[in-house]
Structure 1
Amino acid sequence: MSVRLGDIAPDFEADTTEGRIRFHDWAGDHWVVLFSHPKNYTPVCTTELGYTAKLKGEFDKRNVKAIGLSVDKLEDHHGWSRDIEETQGAALNFPLIADADRTVSNLYDMIHPNANDTLTVRSVFVIDPKKKIRLTLTYPASTGRNFDEILRVIDSLQLTDGYKVATPVNWRKGEDVIIVPAVSNDDAKTLFPKGWKELKPYLRLVPDPNA
C-alpha cells in the first residue's frame, strides 16, 4: 500500500514508549509529524531523535505532535532512549512506536525492498488535523533529515490553508508570499487592501498576512 498527498492517513493501534495508542485518537485535533527510523541504536537516528526532542517548543507553537517509529521491540526502545538523552542532551518527549511486526511500516509503505527488504527508509509524513497527508518525504538510510525544513513546510501549509496565497522558493515565516493565480485582481483588492507588487500578471507578491 502507498499513501499519497490528500489521502487520509491510515489509522492503526500500536505500542509506544508512552503506552498503547490508536493513532487517530492520539492525534486528536493536532498536526502530526510521523517519521520512521531504520532500526534502533543507529547513529543517524540517534541524532534525529535528539534534535526532534529539542524542537518540542517549536512544535507546540504550531499545534504539532511528533511521533517516531522503529522496527524494533518496545523493550529495546527504552535502552535506546537513555542513549539519546546521554549523547544528544535531550530526553525523548514524544512517543516512539515499536513496529517489530512491520504493520505500520507496511501501511505507510516505509519499506523499500530495493533499498533494504527488512528495514524502513527515512520516511516523513506531515498529517493535518483532518487526518489528511499533506507532505511526504523519503530519505536514504544514510542521510539525516532536515527538521528545520519540516518546520518550514508546516509554516507554509498552515499559512496557505488560511489565506489564498502560496509560498515562494526558500520562503520563511514573515517573508512575502504569492497571491494564487485563481484570485482575480478585483478579488485581490478585497483580500489584500494594502496592495501588492506585480512582477508578472501571474506573479503577485504580498507581505505575509500573519506577519
Structure 2
Amino acid sequence: MQNYDIQPMPRLNEPAPEFEADTTFGHIRLSDFRGKWVVMYSHPADFTPVCTTEFMGFSARKKEFDEMNVQLLGLSIDSVFSHLAWVNSIQKDFGQHTPFPIIADLDMHVSKLYGMIHPKAATTQAVRALFIIDPEGILRLMIYYPMTTGRNIDEVIRVLKSLQTVDQYKVNTGANWQPGDPVIVSPPNTVKSLDERSAQKDVDCKAWYFCTKKL
C-alpha cells in the first residue's frame, strides 16, 4: 500500500492559511489583499484545455469581480515562466487577456496548505479547487471539482453576492437565490422572538421556522 503525506485541510469560518508566493504579477502575500474578497482557484496544469476555458471565463468577467471588491488569484504547480507562456498563448490564440495573478507553486506549498493534492485524482497536480476568502481573511467557501469538469463562473458570482448579502443584512439565502429574490430570515430561538416575528408586516411566514422577506 502506498503511503501519502497527511495534508491539513482548511476549515470554513476560520482564518485562511497565510502564504507568500511568486506570481505572474510579482511576489505576493495573501494578507496583501486584506480588505478585499479573494477568489483563489487552482488548475491542474498550464496548457490544458479545460483550464484554458476557465481562465478565459474568469478573465471575461473581471469587471464584475472588480465591482464586488474581489481579487482573483489563479494557481498551479507550474513555474512563473510556464504561466507567462500560457497567458501569452491565451492572448495570442484566443484573444483573451489574463488580468490577474497566477501563483507559481512548484514546491506545492500552497497546494498542500489548502488540501489541493489528492493522490487518487493526480499524484503531481493540484486538483481543481476554489476558495472564497472574505475581507477579514476568513475562509468562507471551498469547492473541489473533478479534473474533467470546468467551473461555472455564474455560480461563483452568485455565491459571492450571497455571502455579501448575508454579511450586510444578517440573513440567509435559499437554493438558487439570485439578487432581488426574497431572503430567508433566521429562525426564532425563543418564544419572545417567535411572537415578534409573527407581528412583523414585512416578513412572509409559511411556517414558524420558515420566513422570508424582500430587502
Q: Taking structure 1 as the reference length, what is the TM-score of the superposition?
A: 0.92
Residue pair 1:31, 1:63 contacting (<8 A) in 2 also: yes
* C-alpha displacement of 1:185: 4.6
Aligned to 1:6: 13
The equivalent position to 1:75 in structure 2, one of 81, 94, 116, is 81
Quote the Cα distance in structure 1 between the aligned partners of 2:203 and 2:195.
12
- The DSSP-based 3-state class of the residue aligned with 1:165 is coil
Q: In 2 relative to 1, CA 188–86 (structure 1 residues): closer, same or farther, beyond 3 Å?
A: farther
Residue pair 1:50, 1:85 contacting (<8 A) in 2 also: no
Aligned to 2:36: 30
Matched, 1:50 2:56: yes
Q: Deviations over 1:164-205 (max 9, x none)?
A: 311111000111111110473555589xx6512111111111
Q: In 2 relative to 1, CA 141–24 (structure 1 residues): closer, same or farther, beyond 3 Å?
A: same
Structure 1 range deviating more: 88-97 or 41-50: 88-97
The equivalent position to 2:67 in structure 1, one of 61, 72, 76, is 61
Matched, 1:101 2:100: no
Q: Deviations over 1:5-24 (max 9, x none)?
A: 11211111110000011121
Structure 1 range deviating more: 83-92 or 9-18: 83-92
Corresponding letter in the other structure for 1:109: G
- The DSSP-based 3-state class of the residue aligned with 1:166 is coil
Corresponding letter in the other structure for 1:101: D
Structure 1: gaps (5+ residues)? none
The equivalent position to 1:125 in structure 2, one of 123, 131, 136, is 131
Matched, 1:177 2:177: no
- How many residues in Structure 1 have an aligned counterpart in Structure 2? 205
Aligned to 1:202: 209
Corresponding letter in the other structure for 2:206: L
Q: Deviations over 1:38-84 (max 9, x none)?
A: 01100000110111111111111111100000111111111100122
The equivalent position to 1:21 in structure 2, one of 17, 28, 48, is 28
Residue pair 1:37, 1:69 contacting (<8 A) in 2 also: yes
Q: Taking structure 2 as the reference length, what is the TM-score of the superposition?
A: 0.90
- Work out the percentage of aligned pairs sharing the same amino acid: 45
Q: In 2 relative to 1, CA 179–53 (structure 1 residues): closer, same or farther, beyond 3 Å?
A: same
Quote the Cα distance in structure 2 between the aligned partners of 1:103 and 1:116.
16
Residue pair 2:188, 2:197 contacting (<8 A) in 1 also: no
Quote the Cα distance in structure 2 between the aligned partners of 1:199 and 1:70.
47
Residue pair 1:124, 1:136 contacting (<8 A) in 2 also: yes
Quote the Cα distance in structure 2 between the aligned partners of 1:122 and 1:182.
39
- The DSSP-based 3-state class of the residue aligned with 1:32 is strand
Quote the Cα distance in structure 1 between the aligned partners of 2:179 and 2:95.
28
* C-alpha displacement of 1:151: 0.8
Quote the Cα distance in structure 2 between the aligned partners of 1:126 and 1:178.
22
Residue pair 2:128, 2:147 contacting (<8 A) in 1 also: yes
* C-alpha displacement of 1:118: 1.1
